Amino acid sequence: MSTGLAVGIHDLSFATTEFVLPHLELAGHTGADPAKYHVGLGQRSMSIAAADEDIVTMAASAAAPLVARWGADRIRTVVLATETSIDQSKAAGVYVHSLLGLSPAARVVELKQACYSATAAVQFALGLVHRNPGQLVLVIATDVSRYDPDSPGEATQGAAAVAMLVGADPVLLRVEEPSGLSTVDVMDFWRPNYRSTALVAGRESVTAYLQALEGVWKDYTEQGGRPLGDFRAFCYHQPFTKMAHKAHRHLLGFTGNVVDEDRIAAMLALTTAYNEVVGNSYTASVYLALASLLDHADDLDGEAIAIASYGSGSVAEFFGVTAVPGYREHLRTEEHRRAVERRRPIDFAAYRELQAHALPVDGGHHPLPRQTTGDYRLAALSGHKRVYERR
């Protein structure tokens, strides 16, 4: 039940990696027609992590500007969502908490459910703020997507982190009730503990995504949600950006609306600008789409935006947010542009070398080469412990 308190996203920032591989470079070595990537997948390039970058360094880089702007005093909870977990026990967010210098009077947890869990983190944060409106909750979605070399998924790899502050009286977006929910046990995408790369059943995954979209929309309407026509824009999870087009086309057809391809292309282009050059960032993907929309749309004051979050396996959620009047004054558009443009292009050989890089498992002391120019890096593995440092 709503308390009448306006709660939502107070600030949003994203970070990505040191390196980038253009899909033209990939096509030159796979023999694929570049149009397969540019048109078929809707991807132009993909972020590649340096040897001393991971989900922690990206998460800290994404969250640091939020702490710098709003301070750390009111942050009593950090929720980190990822499917690229670095430890079976310790939450990656604990490292981020330390790197950011947050108060020890805080709770830190990690959430997992494929690409969906950042939305669970947001919903968890909303509940905490309703309970204590004086606090801010730091939500971070951070992932590095990796697939086997020469597999169909290789061209959809990527990496990014999106950090959000959730609080009362937000200056960016108010999160609305209700949510539409769906959970179905399906093996469309998974990564067993003994594998460093994911397994995916491509066609089954697309079908599972679209069926989940039907399920969340049906539940959303049954819970009393808005009519589809009320939404000015739609942000979809984007394992590749053309999936957003498939999803929106499917939702329009499912709800009996006219499918206008030109209108779909124009609207979704605002949400795919970052994902098409960063690649799939798993939990961060739908919120990277949201960042892209906010940074590229002319004016969304008071407008409703749909969020369609999907995680294979599968769990999905559909809910709405409303842009707070004056939200543009608080955007980080220039910082986001720099995060994308600062990446250094690498060739195919350098990319394959980075992808083949594996951390040692013998428990010795192993310093890592300094590659990233970012503010945070994984400096070493020592005694089975990860050692991070700030620049």
| Cα–Cα distance, 144 to 286 (Å, whole number) | 15
Candidates 18, 53, 83, 276; catalytic one = 83
Contact assessment for residue 103 and residue 75, using Cβ atoms and an 8 Å cutoff: yes
Candidates 10, 23, 97, 237; catalytic one = 237
Sequence-separated (6 or more) residues with CB below 8 Å from residue 127: none
Look up residue 340 and give its amino acid.
V
Cα angle, residue 162 at apex, residues 180 and 114 outer, rounded to 5°: 50
Assign 3-state DSSP to the chain and report helix, strand, coil percentages, each to 5: 40, 30, 35
Cα angle, residue 31 at apex, residues 27 and 33 outer, rounded to 5°: 65
Q: Residue 384, Cβ neighbours under 10 Å: how many?
A: 11
Candidates 10, 23, 97, 115; catalytic one = 115
Phi then psi for residue 184, to 5 deg, are: -140, 135
Whether residue 336 lies in the annotated active site:
no
Q: What is the DSSP letter of 224?
A: T
The sheet with strand 385-390 has its strands ordered as: 365-367, 376-382, 385-390
Whether residue 237 lies in the annotated active site:
yes
| Cα–Cα distance, 13 to 289 (Å, whole number) | 12
| Cα–Cα distance, 373 to 18 (Å, whole number) | 7
Whether residue 83 lies in the annotated active site:
yes
- Which residues are known to be catalytic? 83, 115, 237
